[in-house]
Amino acid sequence: MFWFHLIKTVGKMVVDKSLKLNYCNKVILAPMVRVGTLPTRLLALEMGADIVYSEELIDLKLVKCKRTINELLGTVDYIDPTDGTVAFRTCDLEKPFVVLQMGTSDASRALAVGQLVQDDISGLDINMGCPKEFSIKGGMGAALMAQPDKAVHILKTLVDNLKIPITCKIRILPNLQDTVELVKKLASTGIAAIAIHARTRDERPQHNPHPDFIREIVKQVNIPIIANGGSRDIQKYADILKFRADCNASSVMVARAAQLNVSIFRKEGLLPMDEVIFKYLKLSVDYDNPPHNTKYGIQSILRDLQMTPRGKKFLQCQTMQQMCEIWNLGDYCRNKELEIYRRGKLGRRKVTPNQVISSDLNDGETVTKKLKTEDKIEASAVEGIIEENISFLRCNYSSDVRLFPKSVLYTYANKHNKLCACYETEGQNKLFRSICKFDGKLYRSTFWQKNKRQAEQAAALVCLKHIGLVAEEELIKNGSILR
């Protein structure tokens, strides 16, 4: 991993595009849904992994994405223009080592995705082993193992038309000879390697893997075989090499053992859990990883410790700031978010229904389009309005509804013999914003919420701040105000 550390030192590297990813003698981070996002991949490389796979990304999602240069983060983002979500994020640090895994059932669609992403990755893998219902019903994953001609057509199309190495990942079939014949067919397409999970479609992690199948397959083909499925017995780096040796495979791929502690790739030994979480959180902040995805990653590391007092406190977190506070990264997260916000990133404080990504722009450009208003408030209703960018974060409140902003304002009105607040809400493109009318004044948050109830709570929170029932310092501390 000399090159990875060199890249981190100098911040950039000139990559020889004539060099293709080599799958021989490698230790690899396996594709894992919800786990294999950019922070995990970068941390795996730092820990010693040679190659990192993305989580499985579906062709139907990727094919409509807009490639966008994110100068603020130093990343390349593939953005779904229909909802603005980032389907795939990568960066120069991982480019020489990253393989995108795709779920597909159609050769032409797979090729369109490959042509879109090939300049930002070093390899493309087709998932032909996932046994989950979603994949099977869509003709993807393990369904392709039952249609070898279709699988061959997809791989051959990609090999013949893309400039990066193509691989696939499969499971073994119940019969050894059937598995050997399938692998031979797939290898005949010219793919660079095949990853094989040493269990059948119906077997799960509690079942023993079958390294004997992989040993026999290795004898029958002349491309690298990547062994997968040994995590149950992998407790340290040496166990990774032992599983590879048991399979007599060219390389080895690690999934669950890396999900539990990505420092499994360290030859020097595992790092303490809290150090791993700290590093993962910091990367998640640096690369603006979605809080829900970051939370899932940490839950995978904590496991049973989620039931400890600290673990239970963590489970209540919904924002990156709240998670970072637990691991002494609160100030770092706050300053980083503020830096990104000031530099103009379209983050959660700036999301509006009118901000969409146009499908016909050059890389890096964005445009605002007018979207349909579902429930528009009359313009006269907003004259003299008091606005603040205060968001309502459900995680800041207990299950006691009496402590919610609307309830606090209602109690205050009754106590002081004032008319109760009323609310008017506008909804656009599945986002909502409310006006709180109270004591002759109008209050509104400039932050658009995901539902009407939260929009009303946000408006009430603006009102509570202005009448002195909640302190600005408290709102800044709990993340409702970003300053």
- In percent, the amount of the chain with pLDDT more than 90 equals 69
Q: How many domains does the chain have?
A: 3
Q: Same domain for 88 and 233?
A: yes
Q: Same domain for 230 and 280?
A: no
In this structure, is residue 203 part of a structural domain?
Answer: yes
Domain's final residue, options 203, 237, 260: 260
Q: Same domain for 288 and 199?
A: no
pLDDT digits (tens, 9 = 90+) for 330-356: 999 988 888 877 776 544 444 455 554
DSSP string, 222-233: SS-EEEE--GGG
What would the two tokens of residue 361 be? 């722009």
pLDDT value at residue 3:
43
Domain that residue 406 falls in: 385-478
Q: Same domain for 427 and 292?
A: no
Range in 79-88, 113-122, 165-174, 419-428 with the lowest mean pLDDT: 79-88
Q: Same domain for 303 and 398?
A: no
In this structure, is residue 172 part of a structural domain?
Answer: yes
Interval 260-279 mean pLDDT:
97
Catalytic residue among 65, 130, 168, 247: 130
Q: Would residue 247 show up in a list of annotated catalytic residues for this protein?
A: no
| Whole-Å CA distances, 66 to 126, 344, 355 | 21, 20, 14
pLDDT digits (tens, 9 = 90+) for 90-123: 999 999 999 999 999 999 999 999 999 999 999 9
What would the two tokens of residue 398 be? 């207990």
Structure confidence at residue 294 as a pLDDT band (50, 70, 90): very high
Range in 82-86, 113-117, 142-146, 295-299 with the lowest mean pLDDT: 82-86
Q: Cα–Cα distance between 294 and 290 in angstroms, integer? A: 6
Statement: residue 296 has pLDDT above 60: yes
H/E stretch holding 280 reads: helix 273-286
In this structure, is residue 14 part of a structural domain?
Answer: no
What would the two tokens of residue 308 be? 């400890």
In this structure, is residue 216 part of a structural domain?
Answer: yes
| Mean of the per-residue pLDDT values of the chain | 87
Q: Same domain for 143 and 81?
A: yes
Structure confidence at residue 381 as a pLDDT band (50, 70, 90): very low
In this structure, is residue 373 part of a structural domain?
Answer: no
pLDDT digits (tens, 9 = 90+) for 453-472: 999 999 999 999 999 999 99
